[in-house]
Amino acid sequence: MDALKKVFLPLNILIILLLFTSRIEAQSIYEVQLKTIRKIDKENLERQYPIILDYSVALLNQNTDSADIYYVVKALIGLIPKKNTEQTQLIFKYLKDKYPLPISDYENDLGEKLIYSILLFHTADQDNSPQLEQETAAEEILKNIIDKSSEKNYVMAALLLMTRLDYENYQQYFNTLKEKFPTHKAWPYLEWNNAIVRYGYVEKDQNKYIVETLKLAEKYKNLITPFGEKYYIECYSSVAFEYAISFGNYKKAEEYLAIIERDSPNYIALDWLRKIVRPKAK
């Protein structure tokens, strides 16, 4: 359980953080965020929490069949547990006052309730409530959203979150929702998320993670991500990172970096990845 509280692969988090620097209104995410926003002011990240949370809820409301939920959920998890800040505690207090446990309504304010589940889990050792009690409450929120809600994108977001909080029950829900929403655009990302959690944090088998990621890269090689990149580019980025960091195999990492440079020279995380794969060139 402790391992699942950690942030996922740093490269994936870096890519996601590049999304969130301004509030969206009614405009398209593709126009406002993914095509124009490329940097984040990390020094002022704490002050951007409310904007990030508002944006995430708005995005989940915007499209019930969106692949973007993958990036939204991972951004939220990547941001919230890393900071034991006054701002984080204020958000938690606000949501705790608004949604006292147990929660009974799973058709309204689901974005806020998803955020509440993250905060419950990741502030369990900071709050006065017993840790197990908060973790159990967080899991119940996710299970109830999946079981009771008709809001498809929130159901899929809850499934993504469940990989972190309750991986033992995740596969059952994964299979059930695959039958219920077989054409949802998030599935390629959920499949990758499953590989990240299973092999990166549960079984801790980075070799198997690389194998499975490359299988997904081939399976979805023609898929365009919300960033405008091919799906395989992000898979290759993660594989290059793993070869460099987990195995010190910079020669193998270079092979995948070279493909990214050739096929996607404007890839958002390319400069960062070069520094990882080519440490002597720093």
Indicate whether 160 and 49 sit together in one domain: yes
- Both 180 and 232 in a single domain? no
Domain assignment present for 109: yes
Q: Is residue 157 part of a domain?
A: yes
Task: Flag whether 222 is in a domain.
Answer: yes
pLDDT of residue 171: 82
Residue 281 lies in a domain: yes
Q: Please tell me whether residues 58 and 164 are part of one structural domain.
A: yes
Do 171 and 81 belong together in one domain?
Answer: yes
Domain span at residue 108 reads 3-187
Q: Are both 77 and 170 inside the same structural domain?
A: yes
Specify the pLDDT at position 38. Answer: 34
pLDDT score of 188: 95
Same domain, 168 and 92: yes
pLDDT of residue 250: 94
The total number of structural domains that make up the chain: 2
Q: What is the pLDDT of residue 130?
A: 65
What is the per-residue pLDDT for 280? 64
Residue ranges of the chain with per-residue pLDDT less than 70: 1-52, 78-85, 124-130, 280-282
Give yes or no: residues 210 and 182 share one domain: no
Residues 101, 214, single domain; the answer is no
Assigned domain for 199 exists: no
SS3 per-residue string spanning the chain: CCHHHCCCCHHHHHHHHCCCCCCCCCCCHHHHHHCCCCCCCHHHCHHHHHHHHHHHHHHHHHCCCCCCHHHHHHHHHHHHHHCCCHHHHHHHHHHHHHCCCCCCCCCCCHHHHHHHHHHHHHCCCCCCCCHHHHHHHHHHHHHHHHHHCCCHHHHHHHHHHHHHHCHHHHHHHHHHHHHHCCCCCCHHHHHHHHHHHHHHHHCCCHHHHHHHHHHHHHHCCCCECCCCCEHHHHHHHHHHHHHHHCCCCHHHHHHHHHHHHHHCCCCCCHHHHHHHHCHHHC
193, part of any domain: no
Indicate whether 170 and 274 sit together in one domain. Answer: no
**Residue 198 within a domain:** no
pLDDT of residue 103: 93
Q: Does residue 93 sit in the same domain as residue 30? A: yes
Choose the final residue of a domain: 126, 157, 187.
187
Final residue before a domain boundary, out of 187, 214, 244: 187
State the residue for tokens 């006065």. 128
Domain match, 99 and 64 both: yes
Given 187, 218, 253, the domain boundary residue is: 187
pLDDT for 84: 62
Q: Is residue 194 part of a domain?
A: no
The predicted-structure confidence for 19-30, as pLDDT tens digits, reads as follows 443 333 434 443
Give tens-digit pLDDT for 58-98. Answer: 778 877 888 888 877 877 776 665 556 677 777 888 888 98
- Residue 79: predicted pLDDT: 66
pLDDT of residue 57: 79
